[in-house]
Amino acid sequence: MKFPSKKDVKRYFSQVAKLSDRNVYAVSIMLALAVVTPLLIYSYISVRKPDESISFSVLDQWKKAEKYPKLLVIGQNNTCHLWLLVENGMEKNVSCKVLLKITSTPISTFPVLTEANESYEMRIDSGKRWEKPINVTIEKPGDFHLIFELWVYDEETGEFEFSNKCVVLNVEVMEG
């Protein structure tokens, strides 16, 4: 291995000294980026986990998020035909429940502080989905909120906890 001579070292430093401060700054930034960028990309790819979550949907009677009932008429069509869909994207099996709450009062917080009209419980294997057709019938006129809240069982606490996932459908019910 050949070491640079004193003359080569002096020539190198004199050339570096001739560069303006701006050029030195730009070169320093480019070198730092050249070193740091591959490290950041590698750490992002190697540490990143797949989306671990539970997705939750309420769909219309055709299993789409399009034609939700908005107006019901008592004695003629006062039943909403819907589908509940819960997908487990986690790497473990989970127990969940969907609470249906029907209210005509304004909603100010979630979860809504009222008793559930219906509760649908399920256990979903990792990577699987659960779906169920439901019918919601309302027998009195008024403007109503159909609130569907997803609750997930926490093994540490032994309780169902609100997942912060909910769907609210607004329905007007009229006399026939």
pLDDT classification of 9: cutoffs 50, 70, 90 = low
* Dihedral, CA of residue 62, residue 66, residue 70 and residue 72, to nearest 10: -10
Residue 6: burial class (beta carbons within 10 Å; 0-12, 13-18, 19+): exposed
The residues pairing with 136 across neighbouring beta strands, listed in sequence order, are 80
Q: Which domain holds residue 121?
A: 54-174
Q: What is the CATH number of the domain that holds 99?
A: 2.60.40.10
- 112 in the same domain as 80: yes
Contact 167, 83 (CB under 8 A): no
126 to 14, 55, 166, 168: CA distances (angstroms): 65, 12, 21, 27
Contact 122, 95 (CB under 8 A): yes
Structural domains counted in the chain: 2
- 150 in the same domain as 64: yes
- 85 in the same domain as 161: yes
pLDDT tens across 10-44, in order? 676 666 566 555 566 666 676 666 666 666 666 65
- 101 in the same domain as 71: yes
For residue 14, give the H/E element and its range: helix 6-18
- 58 in the same domain as 39: no
- 152 in the same domain as 87: yes
- 38 in the same domain as 59: no
- Does any domain span residue 1? no
- Look at 11-20, 69-78, 142-151, 155-164 and tell me which has the smallest mean pLDDT: 11-20
- 82 in the same domain as 24: no
Q: Residue for token digits 């309780």? A: 159
- 82 in the same domain as 160: yes
pLDDT tens across 67-104, in order? 999 999 999 999 999 999 999 999 999 999 999 999 99
- 115 in the same domain as 95: yes
- 124 in the same domain as 87: yes
